[in-house]
A and B are shown apart, each in its own frame.
Chain A
Amino acid sequence: MADRSGTRSGDDLRAFTILAAMWIRVSWTYRTSFLVMTAASLVITGIDFVAILVMFSNVDQLGGFGLGQIAFLYGATALCLGIGDLVVGNVERLGRHVRLGTFDAMMVRPVGVFAQVCANEFALRRLGRIAQGTAVLLWSLTVADIAWDPARVAMLGSMVACGTAIFVGLFVLGAAFQFVSSDASEVANAFTYGGNTMTQYPLTIYPTEVVKALTFLVPVAFVNWYPALFILDFPDPFGLPGWLRFAAPVAAVVVCSLAALAWRAGVRRYRSTGS
């Protein structure tokens, strides 16, 4: 997280890499288990998309969107969530670190606790979701009939970057809540995994109020929906302002700033456990 400036964040990134590499090495010593888990993760996320394929064997459109376009939405959000989950997903274990006292141990090491919490038990098997998201997204690009131009290529890159940042921010915001109540990880999941599930489908299937909430309250609509309206050249079905389709960076900055503030406030009011 943009926890602090300059060399400190460089130190944190370096520590994250060292620690994550160590956990990858550890998981590789249990090779079979690692491979089985990765395969399982691939299969489970894979089946998820098969459900959509099955649905489209019965219908041609869902909420005004065809299979290729829905695959685009699905792949984009899966990829962004996958990257966010891989990098900072472990932050949801904060409550456990607080209870077990491992958080105290992290606080007396010369690198940021955020980097340490994220790197702890870094699980490469989460690449499964990223692989599946990437595959679906790439496939959708070939079938969704997109009028490619430089602006659309740039938007594609920006979509993945901002979408990932939004999920990262939501993961961290949810985790920061665990400084207050150490059992709050389910709340965070509702926003991250829940947000992912909702944005797998075109938002046209939801009432306007829900879409507004996903835009202004928990801004997961910026992960894929608004960039997709631009790339796929759709007019906004809800008649919301056209600039929203370019506003994903704003949403990402807002969510990540709030998350950084919440995290820092959390560390400062951390009360540790007895003894």
Chain B
Amino acid sequence: MALIEVQDLARTFTVRRKAGRLRRTTDLVHAVRDLSFTVERGEMVGYIGPNGAGKSTTIKMLTGILVPTSGRLSVAGIDPSRHRVELTRRIGVVFGQRTTLWWDLPLRDSFDLLRRIYRVDTDRHRRNLAEFTELLGLGDLMDTPVRQLSLGQRMRGDIAAALLHDPEILYLDEPTIGLDVVSKGRLREFLRTVNAERDVTLLLTTHDLQDIEQLCSRVMVIDHGSLVYDGTLGGLHDEGSSSRTLVVDLVDEAPPIDVPGAQVAKVEGPRQWLTFPAGASAAPVVAAVAASYDVADLSIQEPDIEDVIRQIYSRGFSGMSQSKGLLPGGPT
């Protein structure tokens, strides 16, 4: 059995709105609908989608915070909304935009409080804490109240706090939001280590596609409450019908290059941009160019993942049936 099993999951919110002086209308908002996926132990899965797509709603159902409207849900063999308290010991949760630590307490006290609440035995706690303190560079911050920590420091504290009870699954909701480049890099490194050495399964939502590129072998894209893509990052490029670009610097200015399998997108003096499908190999194109022209330099630009995802989102708007076709194997 997979560690996380989600089948036909849906969550609807009723929103009451004022419509006139006394009248009120009730709208149904489908935050999540027909969501099905499984996650195996040890995976690192990126969960992305535009604002309001249903990412956080999904995470909240997976943690038992929200009760699903319909569908089946099993995390580590537990139904989250029915046995939420039992599940809390097996999962760790990090909400990027708010802390789960106690605002007025130094990190050390927060961690100690968590140890007692989770009933982690003292030895194990000490070992874990020592490891996380070193890997996350928390040593100098242990006696600082949480409210005085910077965003990056607080995030590191939150992640350590979420892992102290040795959870099997770690959910991260926008873990790198608002962090500088160095902090992001350090955080990703830490998450990789936790996944590799502790066999913690990671599910993270993010807007930063570098998080995905550097961490996740698998991406799930959600839009308008349903999955529009589930597969490898590489596969996402193919789905997006994206193209790679060959930048050619010729020795002299020349008319647009004419080689099979590529089109000229732009000419600027001796520099020309040729595009060819992302799925195709660059070698024949390069060979053809080199054979017929005097080439000073060559470089290849990989497709921009953000463009790819934007394409997928815009397709999601155009209709459910079409976007579902993107799923390898379709809905299960």
Binding site for B on A (CB under 8 A): 8, 15, 18-19, 22, 26, 100-102, 104-105, 107-112, 268-272, 274-275
B64 within 8 A of A: yes
Known contacts A108-B65, A109-B88, A112-B85: does B98 contact A102 (CB below 8 Å)? yes
User: What B residues does A26 contact at CB under 8 A?
Assistant: 104-105
B63 within 8 A of A: yes
Contact of A110 among B65, B81, B85, B95 (CB under 8 A): B85
Taking a contact as CB atoms under 8 Å apart, the answer to whether B88 and A110 are in contact is: yes
Taking a contact as CB atoms under 8 Å apart, the answer to whether B98 and A22 are in contact is: no
State A104–B174 Cα separation when bound (angstroms).
15
Taking a contact as CB atoms under 8 Å apart, the answer to whether A8 and B98 are in contact is: no
State A275–B49 Cα separation when bound (angstroms).
12
Taking a contact as CB atoms under 8 Å apart, the answer to whether A22 and B95 are in contact is: no
Contact of A108 among B63, B86, B174 (CB under 8 A): B63
Contact of B85 among A18, A22, A111 (CB under 8 A): A111
State A26–B103 Cα separation when bound (angstroms).
11
We find that the number of chain B residues with CB closer than 8 angstroms to chain A is: 32
Cβ distance B226 to chain A, nearest Cβ, rounded Å: 19
User: What A residues does B85 contact at CB under 8 A?
Assistant: 8, 110-112
B116 within 8 A of A: yes
User: What B residues does A8 contact at CB under 8 A?
Assistant: 85
User: What B residues does A15 contact at CB under 8 A?
Assistant: 117
B74 within 8 A of A: no
CB closest residue in chain B, given A102 = B98
Known contacts A19-B113, A112-B85: does B60 contact A268 (CB below 8 Å)? no
Interface CB pairs A-B, < 8 A, 10: A8-B85, A104-B60, A105-B99, A105-B100, A107-B64, A108-B65, A108-B100, A110-B117, A269-B67, A270-B66
Taking a contact as CB atoms under 8 Å apart, the answer to whether B95 and A104 are in contact is: yes
B 74-91 to A, binary, CB cutoff 8 A, 1 in contact else 0:
000000010011101101
User: What A residues does B116 contact at CB under 8 A?
Assistant: 18
Cβ distance B116 to chain A, nearest Cβ, rounded Å: 5
CB closest residue in chain A, given B57 = A272
Taking a contact as CB atoms under 8 Å apart, the answer to whether B65 and A272 are in contact is: yes
Taking a contact as CB atoms under 8 Å apart, the answer to whether A100 and B98 are in contact is: yes
Contact of B98 among A101, A109, A269 (CB under 8 A): A101
User: What A residues does B52 contact at CB under 8 A?
Assistant: 274
Taking a contact as CB atoms under 8 Å apart, the answer to whether B63 and A275 are in contact is: no
State A135–B40 Cα separation when bound (angstroms).
63
Taking a contact as CB atoms under 8 Å apart, the answer to whether A272 and B100 are in contact is: no
CB closest residue in chain A, given B97 = A275
Highest count of chain B CB atoms <10 Å: which of A18, A107, A111: A107
State A18–B105 Cα separation when bound (angstroms).
14
